Amino acid sequence: MTEAKRARGLGRVLRRVLAFLLSLLVMTAFYLVAVMMENEETRRSERFLVEAAAAQLLKIEPVESADGRLLARAFGAALPLPEGLGSGRVESGAYHGYITRTVSLEGTAARVTGVRPASAAPGIMPPEAVFMATDRALMGVPLLRAREEGQDVYALMTGEAAFLIRPHAPPDAGGFIPTEP
């Protein structure tokens, strides 16, 4: 009788193990069917991102000043002011049919040219320049460097604007003051 009980006990264990394996097989089959039936478009999360509508720039009268805050306010975005700012100009422009805002700043450390929106950056960048990454940053944004006519030039791309920086002296000689509108 002990043999019969052992056989029945072993049969029960075997049936439970088989039932467990069968349930795992059924769950795996359902999971595979669900993954194969899933549409790639339903997995994309980009369509759920919310973006603020960018306000279209309006034409403005040119503003000339040596006051950094006034220039930043007229430009409408944070900008790097070169040390020893002597003069600056903000004016409206156009790029591929839409209105842009450009800024030109002349300081003792560098000449800075900027454009808003950043998508109009090709309008201020040297056409033959090849920009490479650097280990420097300005306003928390990495600087890109290129050689133009034997001199280093730097590009700075923020979310709102693009800037081209032409230092007057070696890059370690000058500085910038981040200014916000």
Percent of the chain clearing pLDDT 70 (strictly above): 83
Alpha helices by DSSP H, listed for the chain, are 2-37, 40-43, 68-75
Tens digit of each residue's pLDDT (9 = 90 or more) over 7-21:
777 778 888 999 999
**174: pLDDT strictly greater than 60:** no
Per-residue pLDDT at 58 exceeds 80: yes
Number of H-type helices and E-type strands within the chain = 3, 10
Rounded Cα–Cα distance for residues 4 and 6 (Å): 5
pTM, two decimals, is 0.65
DSSP 159: S
CB 44 within 8 A of CB 148: no
Distance CA 104, CA 91 (A): 9
pLDDT, average across residues 152-175: 80
Residues whose CB is less than 8 angstroms from the CB of residue 160 and which lie 6 or more positions away in sequence, other chains included: 76, 77, 78, 116, 117, 118
Indicate the SS3 state at residue 149. coil
Q: Name residue 45's amino acid.
A: S
pLDDT level of residue 149 (50, 70, 90 thresholds): confident
Q: What percent of the chain has pLDDT over 90?
A: 35
Dist CA 91 CA 80 (whole Å): 17
**Would the pLDDT of 134 be above 70?**
yes
174-to-125, 166, 168 alpha-carbon distances in Å = 21, 11, 8
99 close to 76: Cβ distance less than 8 angstroms: no
pLDDT (0 to 100) of residue 50? 55
Q: Report pLDDT digits (tens) over 88-132.
A: 999 999 998 889 999 999 998 889 999 999 889 999 998 888 989
Hey, which residues does 79 pair with through a beta bridge?
179
- CA 43 and chain centroid, separation: 23
Which tokens is 88 given? 């600056």
